[in-house]
Amino acid sequence: MRNLKLVIEYDGSRYKGWQKLGDNEWTIQGKLEGVLSKMCGEKIDVIGCGRTDAGVHAENYVANFHTTSMFSEDMIMDYLYEFLPEDIVVKSVEEVDERFHSRYNAKSKTYVYKINNNRVRNVFNRKYVYQIEEKLDIDKMKQASKCFIGTHDFQSFTTLKSKKKSTVRTINYINFIENNDYIEIEINGDGFLWNMVRIIVGTLIEVGTKNLKSENVNKILDKKKREEAGPIAKAKGLALRNVEYV
């Protein structure tokens, strides 16, 4: 049995996220499994490095699957390129150790949130950035972002309802990349809760628009109540940038 690792790029605009939902084919996982099962002549289960929500994109999503087929990596790449929708591209196929698991072996993930801080929207990237007309105070946002670095209970920053699952996570760094009125917020951590990145960004935006003081972010973390944090930033601005492995 072979174990093949995929690196995937996708535009999540018209999909309901990564994870397949019953018989619903409008998921990234569902599309990949359908094409691979047809190619390999057997039922293929694709293991993803994690969930992405409806409308969220990926630059380098990592997945793997097991198969008895002997198609070469290049043949699989070509087949996927031909038969997958144009908004999903497999960038690489690599045979890996049978024990490799795209989710459990991940050391950290990097997400990027893209903002157009301009009065006028850009028609060419409007599906992939969140436009904010009000001028953001980036220095205040950077100051507030430092509160998230390290290991914390992020219960205030998730829509996860289950009380059985731990809400403790570690954020390694948050970078701000500025290019005129375009801002990218990179967030790297050991794992992320449901909607965690988007709520962190939504809270930083509240700081940037001066609706929230940067020094209050620590208090929001301590209160462990979702209603204390900022709104969920729009899905279209978020993309999984990288997955790092040991």
**Mean pLDDT by 10-residue block, N- to C-terminus, for the chain (246 residues)?**
97 94 83 96 96 96 97 97 97 97 97 96 94 96 97 94 86 96 97 96 97 93 94 97 95
Phi, psi of 103 (to 5 degrees): -90, -55
Position 228 scores a pLDDT of: 92
Instruction: Output the CA angle 139-144-148, nearest 5 degrees.
Output: 135
Active-site option among 53, 87, 97, 153 = 53
Position 23 scores a pLDDT of: 61
Position 73 scores a pLDDT of: 97
Tokens 């794992």 — which residue? 191
First to last CA, the chain: 23
* pTM (predicted TM-score): 0.94
Position 149 scores a pLDDT of: 97
Listed residue (8, 171, 202) closest to 102, CA to CA: 8
| Cα–Cα distance, 36 to 146 (Å, whole number) | 43
Structure tokens at 136: 């953001």
Q: Could you tell me which residues come within 8 angstroms of residue 207 by beta carbon, excluding any fewer than 6 positions away? A: 137, 140, 141, 143, 144, 213, 214, 217
Q: Could you tell me which residues come within 8 angstroms of residue 57 by beta carbon, excluding any fewer than 6 positions away? A: 10, 11, 12, 13, 128, 236, 238, 239, 240
Structure tokens at 192: 């992320």
Q: For the chain, list the domains and their CATH numbers.
A: 2-96 (3.30.70.580), 107-245 (3.30.70.660)
Q: Give catalytic status of residue 97 as yes or no.
A: no
